[in-house]
Structure 1
């Protein structure tokens, strides 16, 4: 066993690894950037070292600074977590050269499996079926387009150097291949420093099933069953579970053996994951997609059904211990499901082919936090009150995992746990995940990777519930009242009472971001939202708890600042100043063509200039945040009259980027 291990990661990943190191009696060393000086993983480690500025390239991705931190703290080994340098062969070799044990696979295995093109060739030679696609590495844009046309759309563009859905593009229209290839290369270059792409055939009705493998340094390789990861959006996993309801015992055994052969083919050592694409209608026709040479985000579901701590076995294997059990001793017990809590805002927007849901990165400071506990519930989190959530890193904040004797119990426990989860100060996807888990197809296990894309609009609360506005207005009304201790002037109580007349209404203009402002009127015992009929309402507070009696129904909220949370959902209900909004809104025509940043981030691409004529839906700019790109498109035919950013500009949420004057208005202005 090692005495000291440096954890070369951040957030919930580092907290998770530190937890096991502490249980094993191993001293942990955390590293942190400027942005993470007060982060939870820093507080929970035995010691911590500052390694650089907020941008990851100068801190978490700096091999030199990580090695220096290890040397300063006497670390004997480095655990890379998952993400950043976890699949970086150069880092693994640099650790070895510095006399450090890299708690992961050999550098050669990382290098081989990190190149998806070589990986497919290697496992194919070992008898593992692979997805049909392009051949060869370093293909030009023209060669990629030719390969895609030969395969036939739809096709999937994939970065060869990395995973996690970064840079992946599903292309249905051959005419868009050039544009999508350029975007995929940008994302791949930004995420992995390598823009090499490959093309694969798109499997219709696909399910994403992966096998967890464990290999020691003495020649033993086993698998720990599968995980179903088909609930995805933008090719990134959202919900994972183990085992999969799709597989029978024979298919499970066959896929497990294929995964073991894939691991053997590259000389793998440690914990890793072999990912397969599986046609839902024919599970036996599974094909190898890639191998992740690291611990996966979703590893807790495997831990809960096997009773094994995968981080512990990573450490033990890296220390030279053989596995004391074989394949026959691996027993799967019950069912586990995991939900990824991410900092993001879901927005429903109109699109030519119907409503579309955009999941945009969010940022802010955690004002209040409540994480679930209870039988069968586990939370892996990097959050704490006052945590600053920015856009420099991945948006995942925490994971909530539930285990039960069967799938129905696990799902029920997870839904209840998400309802208990409260994060105020930052938008998260918690409420969305809870509704997704209640979807009939999910409950029935009828999953595929396109389910969220088809159903997302039905899982997002398009409007703000009236009781949310009511609670916010009553909280403001209560704040107007004088303290209750001692004598109170009855005329200072904000009840609306007037001598010889009906009580007056006190009006509170309010707004939730992404929604139109409303005016909520309050008087003694009643609330009226807009022009609606008054509703009988009363409110009581108990610390951060808000108990609202609304039209005969009692609602329980959590409250901090302008934020209210309930059942996993949260709303920022801010005061609205109609005068200021009118001053900054401009004319109706100008407002309709004003394009603002949908999220805080960095402008990476600008495709137009002032004076350019554009068409509705045309891509004008690209904003990147948390390793995700968001295309800003023209809302209508018109002329670009203002352009306030350049490539590299850092922008805030709702900052004006450009103005597109509608064609009719532009013609009137010219005449």
Structure 2
């Protein structure tokens, strides 16, 4: 076994790999950018090396490995994990790449070539066409709409776009090609028949250098938004033993077809419409991820295996210590991904500094079939850490195991309910609501369920309970020393967050009469009765109308964050500020006058119009990108583009004014 391994990745995956290296007695070497110099993976590694130009600088990563005496490089599951050139450069430098051969990466990294390869091995594939051999417009017409446009290179759902009609296809091809070039350096596209109400099921495979290949069962990954998974589970509630055996065998065949070595995932698409037909479940190959997957913990928890340890042993030349007949799936595991995003704003990325953090008690990496209390947290978070737009918005993963699926869902809900993260808006509360969705609890999943669930919750997601506003008013007043009722008795009142004008354009007046240990509270003209505040160690116990609720507290540039510490609202966090006089009225006045604001902090990619151009409502004006996601900004009204404040490459803040359209008279 290696004495020292460098981890060419960051955040939670680097922390997770470090844990296994420590358990194996192997020295860990971390790398980091300037933005990550104080990150948790840097603190937990035995050694850490700064990279001048970031994590994708192959020369710097290899030099760091040489300088620290590392014998192998583990790429985690970032871009370098599927970079064939990086694998070759490691070998040329005398370093072991903890991953598959470069040839296998190339064969499966190109989706077009991958489909051709596995099809020859007898694995079913989705009908479609691909560049450069096929004209995609003609191919779409031949297979019929709807279709799915996909970049040939890369993964993670980036650049994938559903297209419902021929008229939508040119714009979709343009967007997908631009994303593919920016993310993967390759604008080649393919097109496939869009499977309606599909289920996304993947098979974990392991292959050693001695010709042994096994699968470890499946993972259900159908709960997605923007083609990015947010909740995964093992095993799938859909598959029976026969289908699991057929899909597992197909995954093994796919791995063998490219001489695969290491840990990998073969992804299949299954039509959700077949669930009740009585016919055998059909499946089609989508792609193979030639790396460890974000969702690998659910497989570890139902098999009792440490996939990182097995990766390292395979890379060191050891044979697999078990055969297919030895693989047993026990119980059920579910994983939820915690993202820095705002579900109430169409899952746009967020950012900030982590002011307070409480993660559910986890027992770390599970090895050898020990399941314990069934809770695991993979996280790279720490209080004081800045969350910016430089990297992927995923912050952590919360995983739960139980003997059955219902127990695992309940355990995950409890774990998320005990999660507190203040300073950055996250999706934790949304995840809890999603777990309670009838389709999720029944196991009747498909990749469109999250969008349907979001639409149903849209009108309530942004609501701020009166009791929370009352609690904020009491806490603010306790910290001011001002007499009761002053200065809070103002028309603008209280509102949520700096972006409140999008939620509460006129503000919500909150009045506090009397001392904070015995006050009368009024919210928006409605009396809530008597109230009492007790502050202690970063928490507030607030009694309103005879009910006491506990909150975690943090302050941020004059604003107040409150995190619910009772189970029903656990995971919810609110940022409350006192509205400045006139601010909400100004926002309201501008709300309908053609102002175009940035929906997220990011970078302007494309400007599609110039000042003075006539525009129509809905016409694309700009494209802003952040955290690997594009967002198109359109003209709010018919008129003239009277003002343009953006240029390609420009960094913009959340809610920055980028353009203004003067409406036609």
Kindly state the Cα deviation for residue 188 of structure 1 after the two structures are TM-superposed. 1.2
Q: Which of 181, 186, 193 in structure 2 is aligned with 1:194? A: 186
Whole-angstrom CA distance in 1 between matches of 2:652 and 2:123: 47
Size of the aligned set, in residue pairs, is 629
Kindly state the Cα deviation for residue 297 of structure 1 after the two structures are TM-superposed. 0.2
Kindly state the Cα deviation for residue 526 of structure 1 after the two structures are TM-superposed. 1.3
| 1:316-348 Cα distance to aligned partner (Å, 9 max, x none) | 000000011100110001000000000011235
**1:424-463 matches, cutoff 5 A:** 424-459=422-457, 461-463=461-463
Q: Are 1:29 and 1:47, in contact at CA under 8 Å, matched by a contact in 2?
A: yes
Q: Counterpart in 1 of 2:87?
A: 92
Q: Are 1:157 and 1:169, in contact at CA under 8 Å, matched by a contact in 2?
A: yes
Q: Which of 513, 516, 524 in structure 2 is aligned with 1:523? A: 513
Change beyond 3 A, Cα 1:507–1:109: same
Structure 1 residue 535 corresponds to structure 2 residue 529: yes
Whole-angstrom CA distance in 2 between matches of 1:399 and 1:263: 28
Structure 1 residue 325 corresponds to structure 2 residue 322: yes
Kindly state the Cα deviation for residue 532 of structure 1 after the two structures are TM-superposed. 2.3
Structure 1 residue 26 corresponds to structure 2 residue 30: no
Whole-angstrom CA distance in 1 between matches of 2:8 and 2:396: 18
Change beyond 3 A, Cα 1:589–1:569: closer
Q: Counterpart in 2 of 1:61?
A: 56
Runs (4 or more) in structure 1 with deviation over 4 Å come to: 503-508
Whole-angstrom CA distance in 2 between matches of 1:661 and 1:533: 43
Structure 2 counterpart SS, 1:480: coil
Kindly state the Cα deviation for residue 554 of structure 1 after the two structures are TM-superposed. 2.2
Q: Are 1:506 and 1:522, in contact at CA under 8 Å, matched by a contact in 2?
A: no
Structure 2 counterpart SS, 1:134: strand
Question: CA RMSD, aligned part only?
Answer: 1.8
| 1:429-487 Cα distance to aligned partner (Å, 9 max, x none) | 11000100011110000100011111213345131111111111000111123xxxxxx
Q: Counterpart in 2 of 1:619?
A: 620
Runs of 5+ unmatched residues, structure 2: 275-279, 363-372, 565-569
**1:41-440 matches, cutoff 5 A:** 41-52=41-52, 58-135=53-130, 137-138=131-132, 143-282=135-274, 284-347=281-344, 358-373=346-361, 375-440=373-438
Structure 2 counterpart SS, 1:416: helix
Whole-angstrom CA distance in 1 between matches of 2:540 and 2:182: 44
Q: Are 1:432 and 1:459, in contact at CA under 8 Å, matched by a contact in 2?
A: no
Kindly state the Cα deviation for residue 495 of structure 1 after the two structures are TM-superposed. 3.8
Whole-angstrom CA distance in 2 between matches of 1:495 and 1:652: 36
Whole-angstrom CA distance in 2 between matches of 1:464 and 1:44: 38
Whole-angstrom CA distance in 1 between matches of 2:185 and 2:48: 27
| 1:404-448 Cα distance to aligned partner (Å, 9 max, x none) | 000000000001111111111011111000100011110000100
Structure 1 counterpart SS, 2:70: coil
Q: Counterpart in 1 of 2:370?
A: none
Whole-angstrom CA distance in 1 between matches of 2:132 and 2:645: 37
Q: Counterpart in 1 of 2:472?
A: 472
Q: Counterpart in 1 of 2:648?
A: 647
Q: Which moves more between the two structures, 596-605 or 539-548?
A: 539-548
Q: Counterpart in 2 of 1:560?
A: 554
Kindly state the Cα deviation for residue 259 of structure 1 after the two structures are TM-superposed. 0.3
Q: Counterpart in 1 of 2:608?
A: 607
Whole-angstrom CA distance in 1 between matches of 2:449 and 2:38: 38
Whole-angstrom CA distance in 2 between matches of 1:165 and 1:285: 22
| 1:58-99 Cα distance to aligned partner (Å, 9 max, x none) | 321111111111111111000000012110000000000000
Q: Are 1:344 and 1:395, in contact at CA under 8 Å, matched by a contact in 2?
A: yes
Kindly state the Cα deviation for residue 233 of structure 1 after the two structures are TM-superposed. 1.1
Whole-angstrom CA distance in 2 between matches of 1:534 and 1:22: 54
Q: Are 2:8 and 2:75, in contact at CA under 8 Å, matched by a contact in 1?
A: yes
Whole-angstrom CA distance in 2 between matches of 1:505 and 1:116: 62
Change beyond 3 A, Cα 1:364–1:589: closer
Q: Counterpart in 2 of 1:658?
A: 659
Whole-angstrom CA distance in 1 between matches of 2:614 and 2:451: 32
Runs of 5+ unmatched residues, structure 1: 53-57, 349-357, 482-491, 498-502, 665-671
Q: Counterpart in 2 of 1:629?
A: 630
Structure 2 counterpart SS, 1:284: coil
